[in-house]
Amino acid sequence: MSIANLLHQAKQGDPQAIAALMTQALTAQGVTAQAKLRQGCLEVVLTGKTTPDQRQCLHIIRQGLTRLEVPSIRTVKVYALQAGETFPEWMEVFSLGTAADSLPPRSTPPMTPKATPTITNGVYDSGSPVNLTSDEVDIPLETYAEELLRRYQKGVRDFTGVKLIQVSLIDAVLNEIILQDADLSRAVLRRIKMAGAILKNANFAGANLIEADLTEADLTGANFGCMKLGGQAVNNLVGAAVPISTNLKKATLLRANLSHADLTRAALEEACLDQANLTGAILTRVNAKLCSFVEATLNKADLSWGTFDGANFTGANLSRTNLKRANLVGADLSCANLWYADLTEANLTRANLGRANLTGAKLVGTQMPDGRTTLDKRYSP
């Protein structure tokens, strides 16, 4: 098909033609594109031999769609996968329209009075929640992000229970915000600042939190686990439901409270969780290469099958922690407390165990720092 025909069909909203043009534009990056249009949302899956470059790809896609001026496309979702992988490395959502283009005229609703929070028997009670939701397909996502930012700037801090699914709050400053029980699944929160925020039981499944600052945030019971995107559109694109991992690469969670939080399959490379409370947290199959857990509390946490190559656990409390089949190659566990930890079939090659407390630790089939495999059931000094 000629370029002229492709352009004509693409301007009519043909997703196959749009994908073909994207693939041509991304040839230099070695990336192919597939696309599906559903209810005003163009879903794009990018695949490359290596992970598609987020900045370059998004620039090319946004620029191309802006030039096409397809009236039926309001929102764009982009997923990037490495060939052969099932977990997208990154996901981005952006809008091509404006709030004025898509929303009917309406009067400005009255401002909700700021709730007065109270603490009773150690339990936080926020009062009246602010009612925001972003799970309606036909409304631009920016509408909700802008409304939240507007209210925050006016002094409102309590947004308990809000739904902000897929919103974009890149670089937003929301320190000490209250988002308890909020749904921020698949939200784009890169470099967001939420130091000291109350985020108990909040849902961050599939969210992009790269370089986010969550210093001293209360994330008790929060969900950072992966989620599967289904539906006919996604199935047609990749043949199955797409699992999206929460991305916390290079995020700062210094002294954060993550007790009983779910971080299943989360990306934690180079993140900082120094002095964080991860008591009873679930970190199964996480990718935490070069992550820092200095003096963190991880007792009774589940780190099984996780990747912790080069991670720093200096002085961390890992008592009764589940580390079955965890990969700890080159990890620093000096002065760590591994009292009765389960290290069954864990890989400790080149790990530093200097002055670590391994009393009662289970070392069945464990690969030790010197390369030998131990079959001892329990370690005794």
**H or E element: which one contains 152?**
helix 141-153
At residue 378, the pLDDT reads 67
At residue 97, the pLDDT reads 57
At residue 102, the pLDDT reads 35
At residue 129, the pLDDT reads 40
At residue 86, the pLDDT reads 63
- How far apart CA 293 and CA 299 sit, in angstroms, is 12
Question: Which residues in the chain land under pLDDT 50?
Answer: 98-143, 230-241
At residue 98, the pLDDT reads 42
Q: What is this structure's pTM?
A: 0.68
Counting runs of H as helices and runs of E as strands, what totals does the chain give? 6, 10
Contact at 8 Å (CB) between 174 and 193?
Answer: yes
Contact at 8 Å (CB) between 20 and 12?
Answer: no
**Residue bearing tokens 């964080």:** 276
